[in-house]
Structure 1
Amino acid sequence: MAFDMKKEEDVKEFLDNIGIEYRFGCFSEQKPESCHMLGDYLEAVKKDFEKAAKVFRSNCDDSSFAKSCYKFANYNFLGKGCRQNMDEAYSYYLKGCTAGDYDSCLNGGLMCVSNTPTNAQRPKDYEKGLELLGKACDGENAFSCYYISGMFIQGVKNAITKDMSKAFHFSMKACELGNMYACANVSQMFRKGDGIQKDEAKSEEYKKKALDMQEEFKQQAQVQFQQGTAPV
């Protein structure tokens, strides 16, 4: 059957059919991928966040489906579809990280080390935080590598010793993964000889790289603005 996507009733029927397909795949065929898509469907199409949360949770608990663990952790962190629960959020970020979702590793790591208002009451665990952030960095999460570099640049009293050699290592990795702020830091480190041998030519190379990334980001943001979409 062909659907006319310009007709509201056809769009509704099409979406309903997708929902039926995802439910069958999840509950009858017990496919974790279908269960996750059902959760996304309940979230995005039906706006039923409570049911979506239940689907994500069971798919994480029963199938260790990494993205579902991440989604349910986010729900708990935000209080979306369930009561806000930081301990539950952290627990499911750990499950997601163990299952191979590097965004879960990042968020779990940040919960161990950050001082955001929603996370202020949780005790800090910098050793565990570095472990989780390191996993995310190893999984090529550029922001995680950049965040670790910042911790070694500044140091954390009674927890992390300032170490410019490690800061350079993580800044370089973040830069290679496309983080323009990390590239700017690499440029400064080469210029000053912080954590690496002083090298003016390298400093200029990474300064140019950071500026090129900045210009590319501006151009993308301009295109997205003209198209009526927000930059990501």
Structure 2
Amino acid sequence: MAYDLKKEEDVKDYLENLGIEYRFGCYKEKKPEVCHLLGDYLEAIKKDYSKAARVYKSNCLDYKHGKSCLKYGNYALIGRGREKEEPVEALDYFEKGCDLNDPISCLHAGILLTATGPQAKVQRDVPKGYNYLKKSCDHKDAMACHYLSGMYLAGVPRNVHEYNPHNPEKNKNIDYLIKPDMKQAFEFAKKGCELGNMFACANVSIMYKKGDGVEKNQQESKRYFEIAQNLQKAQDLTKEVKFQQGLDNKK
């Protein structure tokens, strides 16, 4: 059947049939990818977050679909489709997703476990969180590589209350879980940049300029600064295109 998507009734019919197809593919054919699409359909089209959550959870547990573990973890973390936030349950599902080699699940698990201050929502476990972040970076998640670089730039103190960003000399005497290491920070920043993280590129530029973790090189500093700028421009353009989609451009 051909649909005229300029007509409201055709759009409604198309979306209803799409939902029927996803339900058949998920419940009858038991295809994990289609079950995930069904969850996305319930989320984006029907705005039924509680049903979407059930689909994501089932697809994670029954069919071992990592992206669905991630989605359900996100729902639990922000309290979507439920009465309240459940960060401990969120971590459990991020870990499940990471075990299924979903890099963003690994990233979210790592950030939860290493967060401090008001952002801390679960019991801090830096070594475990580091391993999740490393796995995410190894699976080419740019943000995870950038996050790891930041951990090595400042170090990760055992007791965060002892760390004073305004007194570097005092910080030398505190106990670190991860000691500051400029070479490691540079390597992770460079990898994050190569994977497309503009903040990592900016850090690589600064490190080349200062000679932090790498030999000073003004040409390389300039080159990475330009890469960061180009990534920023590309991101801004993408945002602009998305914003203008559907607008009437009649003059």
For the Cα contact (< 8 Å) 2:112–2:121, is it kept in 1? no
Counterpart of 2:107, as a letter, is L
Task: Output one character per residue of 1:73-131: Cα deviation in whole Å (capped at 9) or x when no partner.
Answer: 011011111242111100000111111211111111110112364x5342211111111
Q: What is the match of residue 31 of structure 1?
A: 31
Alpha-carbon spacing, 1:104–1:121, altered in 2? closer, same or farther (3 Å): closer
Q: The residue matched to 2:56 in structure 1 has which SS?
A: helix
Structure 2 distance, partners of 1:41, 1:219, is: 27
Shift of 1:219: 4.0
Partner of 1:50: 50
Q: What are the residue-to-residue correspondences of 1:204-215 with 2, within 5 Å?
A: 204-215=222-233
Residue 106 of structure 2 corresponds to 105
Aligned to 1:16: 16
- Structure 1: how far apart are the matches of 2:242 and 2:41? 25
Which residue of 1 is the match for residue 183 of structure 2? 165
Distance 1:155 1:148 in 2: 10
Amino acid at match of 1:173: K
TM alignment of 1:137-156, pairs within 5 A: 137-156=137-156
Question: Relative to structure 2, which stretch is displaced further, 2-11 or 157-166?
Answer: 2-11
Runs ≥4 residues deviating over 6 A: none
Gap change, CA 1:205 and 1:14, over 3 Å in 2: closer
Determine the C-alpha separation between the residues in 2 that align with 1:91 and 1:214. Answer: 34
Please say if 1:94 is aligned against 2:95: yes
The residue that corresponds to 1:114 in the other structure is 115
Q: Secondary structure at the match of 1:68?
A: helix
Which amino acid in 1 is paired with 2:45? V
Deviations 1:130-183 (A, max 9, x none): 111111111111111111101100011122110101001001101111222212
Matched residues in 2 for 1:183 and 1:161: separation? 22
201-210 vs 165-174, which moves further: 201-210
The alignment's C-alpha RMSD in Å is 1.9
1:179-231 per-position Cα deviation (integer Å, ceiling 9, x unaligned): 222122112212222111222222222223223333443444444444479xx
CA contact (8 A) 2:87 2:121 kept: no
- Change in 2 beyond 3 A, CA 1:116/1:47: farther
Q: Sequence identity of aligned pairs in percent?
A: 50
Residues 221 and 57 of structure 1: CA distance in aligned 2, closer, same or farther (over 3 Å): closer
Distance in 2, matches of 1:209 and 1:202, equals 10
What is the TM-score of this pair, normalised by structure 1? 0.91
Aligned length: 228
Please give the alpha-carbon distance, in whole angstroms, between the structure 1 residues aligned to 2:244 and 2:79.
Answer: 33
Distance 1:227 1:219 in 2: 12
What TM-score, normalized by structure 2, do the two folds share?
Answer: 0.84
Aligned to 1:62: 62
- Equivalent of 2:216 in 176, 198, 205: 198
Residues 1:109 and 1:13: Cα distance change in structure 2 (over 3 Å): same
**1:186 paired residue number:** 204
Stretches of structure 1 lacking an aligned partner (at least 5 in a row)? none
